[in-house]
Structure 1
Amino acid sequence: MSEVPWKLYIFKYEDYPEYSARITGHYAGDMLIIEEEGELSEEAVKLIKETLGIGDDARYFNILPSQVLKIPIEKLPEKDRKTLLSAAEKLDSESKLHVEYRYQPSFD
């Protein structure tokens, strides 16, 4: 059985101006944009949770830009390190990383 993927996303908040809101019939304000960045291994997620003090049973959690520096990047498997660093480079003060358990059943 393959490893259960943990998905890594960037949650970014963009201004949704009033004139656009009127045209589309939505409310003005912040709009959440979700970008999928890749997958993280169980090993990487466990290390991140331990470092940030997140419970083992958490099925999803956020990583703020200020918390990225606390993660011991050198201890992560290389693929996970590249994925996390690539996503972290795209963060700004109005965004955060989101890690979520994504169960995908196999019908083989």
Structure 2
Amino acid sequence: MSEVPWKLYRLKYVDYPEYSARITGHYAGDLLLIEEEGELSEEAVKVIKSTLGVADDAREFEITPRDIMKLPIEKLPEGDRNLLLEAAGKLDAESRLHVEYRYRPSFD
């Protein structure tokens, strides 16, 4: 059985101004942009959860820019470390990372 994928997303709230809202017929205010960064291994997720105090059975959690500094990057597998560092480099004060369990059934 293949490893369960954990998806890594970058979330960012941006201002959706009133003039744009009128043109598109939507409400003004914050707009959430979600960008998929890639997949994390089960091993990396366990290390991250343990470090941040996230419950073992949590199926999703968030990583703030401040949390990145707490992570033991050297303990993560190389691919996960590179992905996480690349995604973290795109963060600003208004964004964060979101990790979510994504079940993919196999019919093999």
TM-score by length of 1: 0.98
Alpha-carbon offset, residue 25 of structure 1: 1.0
Amino acid at match of 2:27: Y
**Counterpart in the other structure of 2:68:** 68
1:1-108 alignment runs, 5 A limit: 1-108=1-108
Q: What percentage of aligned pairs have identical amino acids?
A: 77
Report how far residue 19 of structure 1 moved.
0.7
- In structure 2, C-alpha distance between the alignment counterparts of 1:67 and 1:100, rounded to whole Å: 17
Moved over 2 A (4+): none
Q: CA RMSD in A?
A: 0.5
> How many matched pairs?
108
Give unpaired runs (5+ residues) of structure 2. none
Unaligned runs of 5+ in 1: none
Q: Post-superposition shift, 1:24?
A: 1.1
